Structure 1
Amino acid sequence: MVSFRAASAEAMAALTDKLGGVAEASAAKVADDLFAAARTLRSEGALRRFVTDQSVAAPARAGLVGDVFAGKVDPAAAELLSAAVAARWTRSRDLPDALEQLGVVAAVRSVGAQAETLVDELFGVRQLVKQNSDLRNALSDPARSAADKSALLDTLLGGKVLPATVQLVRQSLSGSYRTVTAALEAYERTAADVHGESVATVHVARPLDERAQQRLNTALSRQYGRSVHLNVVVDPAVIGGIRVEIGHDVIDGTVSSRLDDARRKIAG
């Protein structure tokens, strides 16, 4: 997830509260509109600088945005855009970043009680891209059009995952993050965070049974003071033990890690 500072953090908090009033039924359309607005503001530097210029009266900034997006966005999205350009931003580029983040939150809210499924599916797609170099290269190839990449995704995911998963995977192609997998990882964390959870990626040599997953989930939830969604990666290189990545923390109790430590001590 994008981190905001000072005025931008306050603006983002206020907009997130405002987004909470958007109906679930219209959230997917609002997400698409916010993503489109973020793309426009990133590509149109003059427009972005004007609507974040505090020397320009807020009504003038809102009026221009209203003219640019008139008839093109859902009324709820239009209200959010007006509120966004009326706010104060620490950096001009924070505005499109915030709109994208709000779009992700709207997409998450569009699935209602299926948020756990959404997190699982985003993780599954991220692992698929990470492990398949041909797919990864195709999605990052600047010579391929956005339409071509979207068609490829439709072939892979169409009818197999939630519409919100497809929506967010398409958004991951926008280039606002360093890579597609980095975008998907950020979207996973946002999807979990919307529902009061953290995401832990667990690396093991063999699949964990349900009881083991429950014990680990309980221990991590107690340690971090909130529910934790587990993404389990089976990796033979682990050999034995377990490695947990949650936020910026890494808990490494793997055999491979202990072997590496032993090798370093011997070499030193």
Structure 2
Amino acid sequence: MRGVSRTSLDEVTRRLDGILPSANTATLGHELFEVVALLGQEHSLRRWLADQSGSSESKSALVGNLLESKVSPATILVVSDIVQAKWSSPRDLVDALERAAVFAAVAGQDTAQRLEGVEDELFRFGRIVAAQPELRAALTSDGVPVEHRRALVENLLSGKTSTATSALVTEAVTRPRGRTLEQGLDHFSQLVAERAKHYVAVVRTAVPLSDAQQDKLQAVLTRMYGRAIHLNTEIAPEIVGGLSIRVGDEVIDGTVAGRIAEVRRRLAG
């Protein structure tokens, strides 16, 4: 987000931080995701709530009328606060609600180490799905009812991951918002990293890195980006040698396969 949306996002996040300590955060996260789904379906409502010419009082009143008796007071408070802020586009408003939902879902993971645990679980689940096409199809096919997909996630993760991870995976599977499952898991992982105040680097390497190599790479990336870096490492023999590193939308490709592909592109040109 940029401009007025960026300013609004910072403001509503500060106010959310004041609500979370006294809220049932699991319920708050679930209900905020429900509101995100509602606005995803109701295009005219989404546009009206994001219209900067509308009064904040009327938007807050409408939210109260729509949600009263359906959600907790904390959810009404958070949603009202977000719709009263100024947004550059309806998409930014919904993204801010989704971000608040993720922050609420992981609020019980109250240390950086536990937040990193959620990131690791999301990353590992994504790798498992990528390696099993039949499982991926069962989780993403439009022909599979949503409740069946929800039950499959519960069976796969119950007792094996944190409740926060289960909630985020379920959301990515059942309400993808136009993302692939992999994109949804990565998006939530990046938001969890933001909450932990660090970046996630997805490192692809042909052979496992030693602890010393990982520590050195982490230190280098931390200096480059000016923020703590959490490494998620994926073994990919097809890259032959070197490393491919992705931090957000930025990719640093130092692989042998990448250099060969670049030579081929130049020869073809």
Partner of residue 127, structure 2: 127
**Secondary structure, counterpart of 1:112 in structure 2:** coil
| Inter-partner Cα distance in structure 1 for 2:137 and 2:78 | 36
Identity of aligned residues (%): 35
Match for 1:43 among 30, 41, 50? Answer: 41
Counterpart of 1:190 in structure 2 is: 191
Distance in 1 (alpha carbons) for counterparts of 2:117 and 2:132: 22
Give the C-alpha shift of residue 81 in structure 1. 1.0
Helix, strand or coil at the partner of 2:103:
helix
Secondary structure of 2:57's partner? helix
Per-residue deviation at 1:16? 0.9
Q: Any idea what SS the aligned residue of 1:244 has?
A: strand
**Aligned-residue offset at 1:216:** 0.9
1:110 is paired with a residue whose SS is: coil
Deviation at 1:62, TM superposition (A): 1.1
- Other-structure match for 1:84: 82
- Correspondence for 1:17 among 14, 23, 34: 14
d(CA) in 2 for partners of 1:215 and 1:58?
50
Partner Cα distance (2:94, 2:258) in 1: 41
Which ranges of 4 or more aligned residues in structure 1 deviate by more than 4 Å?
Answer: 261-268
Structure 1 equivalent of residue 91 of structure 2:
93
Tell me by how many angstroms 1:263 deviates: 4.9
Q: Tell me if the contact between 2:25 and 2:105 (Cα under 8 Å) persists in the aligned partners.
A: yes
SS state at 2:86 partner: coil
Q: 1:103 to 1:211 in 2, by over 3 A?
A: same
Alignment check: 8 A CA contact 1:39 1:96 kept: no
Matches of 1:158 and 1:89, distance apart in 2: 38
Aligned equivalents of 2:267 and 2:142: distance in 1?
46
Give the Cα separation in 2 of the matches to 1:107 and 1:57. 30
Matched AA of 2:120: D
**Paired residue for 1:206?**
207
What amino acid does structure 2 have at the position aligned with 1:155? N
Partner of residue 144, structure 2? 144
1:8 maps to amino acid: S
**C-alpha deviation, 1:55, in angstroms:** 4.3
Matched-pair contact (CA < 8 Å) for 2:23–2:74? no
8 Å contact 1:26–1:110 — kept in the other structure? no
User: Is residue 42–residue 93 contact of structure 1 (8 Å, CA) maintained in 2?
Assistant: no
For 1:185 and 1:132, the matched residues in 2 are separated by: 18
**Cα deviations by residue, 1:198-228 (Å, 9 ceiling, x for unpaired):** 1111111111121111111111111211110
- Taking the TM superposition and a 5 Å limit, the aligned residue runs for 1:169-188 are 169-173=169-173, 174-188=175-189
Q: Separation in 1 of the partners of 2:198 and 2:35? A: 28
Maintained 8 Å contact 2:60/2:80: yes
User: How has the CA–CA distance of structure 1 residues 265 and 66 changed in structure 2, closer, same or farther, with 3 Å as cutoff?
Assistant: closer
Deviation at 1:171, TM superposition (A): 1.1
Deviation track 1:35-75 (CA, whole Å, cap 9, x = no partner) reads: 11111112123332333344443222211211111122232
Q: Whole-Å Cα distance in 2 between the matches of residues 266 and 194 of structure 1?
A: 45
Local SS of the residue matching 1:138: helix
Where does the alignment leave 5 or more consecutive residues of structure 2 unmatched? none
Partner of 1:223: 224
Q: Secondary structure at the match of 1:226?
A: coil
Letter in 1 for 2:196: H
CA distance in 1, matches of 2:143, 2:257: 40
Task: Give the AA of the match of 2:128.
Answer: L
Measure how far apart 1:261 and its partner are: 4.2
Aligned partner of residue 144 in structure 1, secondary structure: coil
CA distance in 2, matches of 1:260, 1:91: 39
Separation (CA, whole Å) in 2 of partners of 1:55 and 1:222: 43
Whole-angstrom CA distance in 2 between matches of 1:92 and 1:134: 36
